Chain A
């Protein structure tokens, strides 16, 4: 039954992602959750609130040119995004962390806007994942 539900989720995910790569690797997420959809949904719920908060924190720190603080927030987001399977988000967060720790005088605003947009894609993906899981 779980595998049927997982297959449904992957199918829905593919449809959602028809315009580009998946914002969240649902197969990887389900694997980390040992196929337990209730646990995956609980993690995604946490991610919806903590991930969004972290992105806003990064944006604020970058706008104030607080590079180390931005790097620390990006480090936290990188870990969370990796576990959720949000690979592009994870990569962008890693780039911001590296830039913040690397002694650069600024972090490219384009990078931060990219991060925010990618978080938006992840958040848009979650309701579809959730509704497929519940059917």
Chain B
């Protein structure tokens, strides 16, 4: 294992990875490279005989996602690193877990989908892709995810499917209330997961999202039956 040191948006961080990934990342983040050793930010574990996928971990060892293609791992990393870039006006940034399939993107809020690793692998084996601890920017006026014109944008999220502009599904934890949440209650949950942005932009973005998205609720238990979250394929 080796590492590269970056500084993005004033935040220094180090990415530990193997030499093959490092060469790819050095070329990708050329303008963010620094020489000083930075605190550990992410780790990209190389494939093993048992697990033939690259695994992306955060500095706490939390598994953020995995992919067999190094390009896809780099795209996941892009999504996380872009959260360090300054937020544009009229945008809000939210923390979500995204589940992607051919039909679109489902944004899941904590603690939804906080499931064991085996369940995530089960999801992946059926064609879903899971991106964890993701930061997405939402345009407050339209409620659409933003693809910004910055050096990371060219490749940011493209291979992971996050260039989808509209958010069509939200997955919320079911509350103690017997009825499904109203759209305003869904927007309030979305606001509580905001990590950056003006309060007004956060409110507008959350309401714009729930206006256009269908809202699914799930019972939040560790042994949750994932089939209840996503309809059978």
> Does B bind A?
no
Residues of B near any A CB (own CB < 8 A): none
- The chain A residues found within 8 Å of chain B, CB to CB, are none
